[in-house]
Amino acid sequence: MAMSLDGFVAGPNQNQENPLGEGGLKLHEWAFSTKTFAAMTGSADGETGVDDDVLREQFNNVGASIMGRNMFGPIRGDWGDHSWTGWWGDNPPFHHPVFVLTHHARDPIPLKGGTTFYFVTDGLDSAVAQARKAAGTKDISVGGGASVVRQCLSAGLLDEMQIHLVPLFLGGGERIFEGFDAKKLHLKPIRVLEGKGVTHLKYQFQK
């Protein structure tokens, strides 16, 4: 998760024009210039270095992802005409099954590159079980948004967490570090890397 210095992973007033809230896109500028991100968007450009290494590592050995309805799209309530297929176009960067937590059922959406979105209406435990089956021996990535991460923190489901700390104040928005019993969680620092305008912090949860 990319995070501002005042602890927000998305800015205020999220909507279709500002999917990460006002100013939230700036949290990810470090990633946009990398070779890995360029490759995801079909370009051969981009920079190598620490930021590129970190971003590439995030996709290594991942066999499935879990995300919330808000991360998938701006639509609330019923899906309507089902024309929305995510922020990422017809070839999303995941290239594996993605399980979207929602209260509204929808048929799976298969897209190019091996990404299929599955919509899970019976809660986090079901999404985790389905993701584990799909991933096999590979890892599961929890992509966000903030609500899903908080649920996973509260349930003690996370093995590792990587925070990309950006020297930016958003002044409001969505936080991940609230709404759970912090006394039950214990972190072991694994790595600190300095990138271009971002510090990459990696932790392991102690069981």
pLDDT at 73: 85
pLDDT at 83: 87
pLDDT at 149: 94
Indicate the SS3 state at residue 134: helix
| Torsional sign, CA 28, 88, 155, 137 | negative
State which amino acid sits at residue 92: P
Q: What is the mean pLDDT of each run of 10 residues along the chain (207 residues)?
A: 96 84 94 89 87 93 94 85 86 92 95 94 97 97 91 94 97 92 91 97 93
| CB of 104 closer than 8 Å to CB of 78 | yes
Residue 92: CA atoms inside 13 Å, Cβ hemisphere, count? 19
Q: Where are the domains of the chain?
A: 2-205
pLDDT at 186: 93
pLDDT at 124: 96
pTM of the full predicted structure? 0.90
pLDDT at 101: 96
Q: What is the CATH superfamily name and number for domain 2-205? A: Dihydrofolate Reductase, subunit A (3.40.430.10)
Q: Could you tell me the maximum CA-CA distance found in the chain, to the nearest angstrom? A: 46
The CB-based long-range contact list for 82-91 (8 Å cut-off, 24+ gap) reads 82/106, 82/107, 85/109, 85/111, 85/117, 86/111, 86/117, 87/19, 91/42, 91/115
